[in-house]
Chain A
C-alpha cells in the first residue's frame, strides 16, 4: 500500500529494507531528516546509528562498516559532501561499497539551505583525489528516493564502489506516495570483507600500492569497472522524445518541472520532449547521440550555473546546439519561465533549420 512520506524518510526506510545496518552522519539542512529517521529506525532493525563528530569521521566510519561487510549509509549536503571527498576517494580506492545521499543546497561556501543542483561536479566527477568515479543516481520523486536507494546498494555491492544518491532539498522535503517492497532483505557478508573470523583473517582492505606498476594495475582494474558501468548501468527516462525536435535535458526536481513544460509546449504545438538522466554517472551519452539524429537542439535546465550541461556537450560532440537555462541560489525555475525560454529558443531554431535538412547532418 502506498504511504505518503517525505523523500528523506523514504531513503532510510528503503535502505533498511535493502539490508543497510549502519548509518554514520553529521546533521546538515536539508538532509538532517535522513539522520533523524535513521536514528529512529536503524536501532529497531538491529542496526547501528551514530551521529559522528564530523562528516570526515562519518565517511571514515562508513569505510569501517563497509570493510566489515555491512551495508552502510550516510547523508549530507554540499558542504558536508565536500568534507567527505577524501573518504570517498579512499572507499573507491579500497573498493568498498557504500551509499551516500547528497541532498543538495545552495552554495558555494555556506550558501543557503534552499534547493540547488550545484553539487553535480563534485559528486559526478569524483570530487576527491585520484582516478576514480562514483556511480550517481538522481531521483526525481519520493518513490525514486526509495527505489534508487535500493538500487544504489545493489550497484555499490556489484561494483564494489561508493554510490551517491544525488537529490535536492525539494525532493528530500516533499511528500509523495511511496510503495515499498513487501519484504526486507539482508545480504550475506561478502567474502572479501574483514569480519573477525578465521575464514577472513587474511583479507586486507587497503588503497596503498607503493609500486607504480602495482598502482597502475589497480587503477586500470577500477577503470575497467567504470567502463563496465558505462555499458551496463546507464539509466534514463525519455518523455515524449519520439518526435521531439527540441529535447529538454534535466535531472531530479527540474525534470519534474520540465515534464510540465513539455505538456504546455505540446499544447502550443511545439514538438518538445524530455530526456531525464537517472544515472548521472554513467551518463546517458549514447541516448543523447541517438536523439541528435532527429532533434534540432538540446536545451538543458539546471538549478545551477551550468554543470551537467558540460556532459551533454561532451556527449553530443558538437552534433547539435546545446543551450542552457539555469537558476540558482535556491530559486527554482517555474514551468512558465522555462516555457518562455523554450519558445524563444524554438523561434530561433525553427526558421533557420527545417527538420528534414538536419536529418543526417
Chain B
C-alpha cells in the first residue's frame, strides 16, 4: 500500500458519520448543488482554523438548515422561526467565553425575524450571523422570500414578484449598515470558486471578530437553490453570479475589525454570600413592641388627589405598623378612579393575619380632598373615624355615627413650608386622636420612607402640628 500524506481533510468540526440522521447517516439531507453544504463547510473549516470547536454553539433556524446539528460537532441549539438571533444573544450573554453562531436563512432572518436581527445588530451583540440568502423559501416548497427578485416566480408569486404588490427585495446588509453598532457586514456569493474563496475569508473574519470580542458581525451569502429554482446546479451557480449579485451587490458594508476595541468584559460576579445584602435584604430585628392587643384591626382608606402624598401616608402607616409588631398590608388603588387624577390606598394594621388587603368598609377614612370624602364617607363603619381636609362638611351630609375631624391640614402644611406635608399633618392628627401607633414606630417608618433630610425635618414638624391640632384644638 503506497504511503500518502493528507493535504486536505474533512473539517474536524463535522461529525464523521451523521449519527443523528439514523439510517441515512452516510449522506446529508441537502439537495445536489445546494449552497448550504458549501456554507457548512466554510463554517466548519473556520471553526477548525480558529481552534474553537469546544467553545462553539450553533443556533440553527427553521428552514432547510434546521438540521445543522446533524453535521456540526459543536454545541447545538435549535430555535423558533425568526428567533435564532434572539436566542443567540442570550446564549452569548450567559456564556461570554463561548462562540455563538446564528445560522439563518432569508425568510427566517429578513421576514419573520426582522425585529430580532435588527435589534441584535443595533445592540452590537458579540455574535456572528451567517445569513444564507437564496431568494426563496426552500424548505416549505418555494414561496416568496423578502429577498425574492422582482419578476422571480415563486408558488406565492406565480406571475413573478411585482413591486406594486410585494414590494422590493430587502437588502439586509445595507439596512444594518445604517446602524452604529455592527462591526462587520459583508455580502459574498457562491457563484464560482473565486466567490467561494471570498466567502470563506468573510466567514473566518466574522467568526474571528467574535473570538476577539469585537462585536456584531454578519456575512450575507448569496446561495444557490437549484431544486426550487428549477435549474441544474451549474445554471443555479450562474444565476447567483449573474442575476442575484446584480440586485444584491457584493462587498463590504462595514468593517471596523481593525479599529474596534474589544468590548468591555463584565465585572466578576459578587461572592454568593454578598447577594442578599446587594439586594437590600437586611438582617436584624424590628422593634416588635407588640402593640394593640389581640383584637386590633385597623382598616384604613387614604384618598385624595395625586400629588397629595396619599400613597406615602399609607406607606408610613404600614411601615410603622410593621415596626409595632402588627400584621400589615398596603394596597394602592389601581382602578378606574386613577384616570380622574385621584389616588387612594388601602392599609390594614391588625393583630391577626390579614385576610383581604382590600378595604371596602374602613374604620378609618383619611380624605385629603372633598370628592374622596363624599365618595367614601358612606362606606365607613359605624363608630369609625373620618379625617378630612378643610372645614366644609360633605355635601352628602355628616354622619352622626362616625367620629369626624375636619381641619385645614393641607393649608397647615403649606404654612409649614409645603402643602404636600399636609398628609403628615393629617397623620399626626390621626395618631393623636386614636393612639393607633407608638411614636418610635412612626419615627422609624418615616426614616425608611422619606429619603431627603429636608423632607424628614418638615414631615416631623407636620406630624407635631397635627398632633397639637387634636390635643389642643389649636387648629381652627
Contacts and interface: CB of A to CB of B under 8 A. Distances in A.
Which of B75, B98, B286 has the most chain A CB within a 10 Å cutoff? B75
Contact of B356 (A53, A63, A196, A260): A260
Interface string B246-273: 0000000000000000000011111011
A274 to B, nearest CB: 10
A126 B61 CA distance: 24
Contacts of B270: 44-46
B66 A194 contact: no
A65 interface: yes
Interface string A41-76: 100111110101110110011111101111010000
Interface stretch (B149-157, B274-282, B394-402, B431-439): B274-282
A204 B69 CA distance: 8
Interface string B315-335: 100110010000111111011
Interface in A256-272: 256-257, 259-260, 263
Contact of B273 (A50, A72, A183, A198): A183
A63 B87 contact: yes
B180 interface: no
Interface stretch (B51-59, B128-136, B185-193): B51-59
B322 A201 contact: no
Interface in A83-97: 86-87, 90, 94
Chain A interface secondary structure, helix, strand, loop or mixed? mixed
A194 B91 contact: yes
Contacts of A315: none
Chain B interface secondary structure, helix, strand, loop or mixed? mixed
Nearest to B332: A173
Nearest to A204: B76
B308 interface: no
Contact of B93 (A4, A22, A208, A332): A22
B283 A115 contact: no
Interface in A305-339: 330-332, 334-336
Interface residues of B, number: 74
A236 interface: no
Contacts of A114: 334-336
Interface in A178-193: 180, 182-186
B315 A175 contact: yes
Contact of B83 (A63, A175, A186): A63
Q: What 5 A-B pairs come out closest when comparing CB atoms?
A: A46-B269, A196-B98, A64-B90, A259-B355, A68-B94
Given A196-B54, A204-B78, A331-B335, 12 more contacts: A17-B276, A54-B115, A57-B83, A61-B89, A64-B89, A65-B94, A86-B80, A173-B332, A174-B357, A194-B77, A196-B75, A336-B361
Interface of B: 20, 53-57, 59, 66-67, 69, 73-80, 83, 86-91, 93-95, 97-99, 115-116, 118-119, 123, 266-270, 272-273, 275-276, 278-286, 315, 318-319, 322, 327-332, 334-336, 354-358, 360-361
